[in-house]
Amino acid sequence: MKLPPLWSGVLIARYKRFLADIRLDDGRVITAHCPNTGSMRAVNVPGCRVWVSWHDNPKRRLPWTWELIELPDGAMASVHTGRANALVQEALESGGILPFDRAWGLQREVRVDDSRLDFRLTTEGDESVWLEVKQVTLKEEGRGYFPDSVSARGRRHLETLMALRADGDRAVLVFLVAHSGIDDVRPAAHLDPAYARTFEAACEAGVEVMMLGCEITPEEITACRSRQLQKDQVALSGPSRSRSRR
């Protein structure tokens, strides 16, 4: 995925969830839109180098959007959760990265009862494969975790995937890892025990779990590696107690 032209600067503060003050390299201090509803635990680090895009749209209250951050360990992360589905769709349509045939039909944002899932793939035999995408940027003690805060919506998506699997469809949870330093993902039982328990039940019910990693630069984000995670690879766990208290 090619990114729009970006300006670099230093993060001053993120506040009120959707706002971020940033000092650009030319000295200007701007307020940018933060396109991320999560806690951004571990990627909201004042003083780090960040990149923003500018949008010439008079209907927007804030023309700047926070896109990327370079963390103290040198890892790059995308904070723009709106790009996660586009990256997965790009991987599906290009073929060879995710284990699905690119000739299959693809629908986005499909309503299922009182929920909505990110993708539905249909085979020539009209079989359905349902995908729900979750962006991962939380890294603690060398491992990636999801979610980064309590997520009732994430639990509902897992329950929907379980129901579809029980009806005979294939159901897949895709962790889109938008952090160059994460190679492994687990449910964050230390942050949302209820999500972790539902995740375990989903795995038992036959919901598949895949991880899609990315290479991230200020010019582009590329989905470059995927693997299917087995149940023993995503067992409930969390950082050490001393780490989780910090």
**What totals of helices (H) and strands (E) does the chain contain, helices first?**
4, 15
Token readout for 66 is 């926070």
Looking at residue 38, what DSSP letter applies? S
Same domain membership, residue 221 and residue 100: yes
* DSSP-assigned letters across all residues of 83-134: GHHHHHHHHHHH-SSSSS-TTSEEEEEEEETTEEEEEEEE-TT--EEEEEEE
Task: Assess whether 189 and 123 both reside in one domain.
Answer: yes
* Same domain, yes or no: 25 and 93: no
Residue 67's domain is classified under what CATH number?
2.40.50.580
Could you tell me the residue range of the domain that residue 184 belongs to?
A: 81-233
In a domain, 240, yes or no: no
pLDDT score at 244? 39
Examine residue 244 and state whether it is found in any structural domain, yes or no: no
Q: Does residue 157 lie within any of the structural domains?
A: yes
Same domain membership, residue 51 and residue 10: yes
Residuewise pLDDT in 10s, the chain (246 residues): 999 999 999 999 999 999 999 999 999 999 999 999 999 999 999 999 999 999 999 999 999 999 999 999 999 999 999 999 999 999 998 887 888 876 689 999 999 988 999 999 998 778 899 999 999 999 999 999 999 999 999 999 999 999 999 999 999 999 999 999 999 999 999 999 999 999 999 999 999 999 999 999 999 999 988 888 876 656 555 676 444 333
Residue 1 lies in a domain: no
26 and 146, same domain (yes or no): no
* 158 phi/psi in degrees, rounded to 5: -60, -40
Global model pTM greater than 0.85: yes
Place of tokens 């997965």: 88
Residues 15 and 85 reside in one and the same domain: no
Pairing of strands 143-146, 185-187: parallel
Helix (H, G, I), strand (E, B) or coil at 200: helix
| Whole-number Cα distances in Å, 245 to 65, 132, 194, 239, 242 | 32, 31, 19, 10, 5
Residue 243 lies in a domain: no
Task: Please tell me the total count of domains within the chain.
Answer: 2
Co-location of 173 and 152 in the same domain: yes
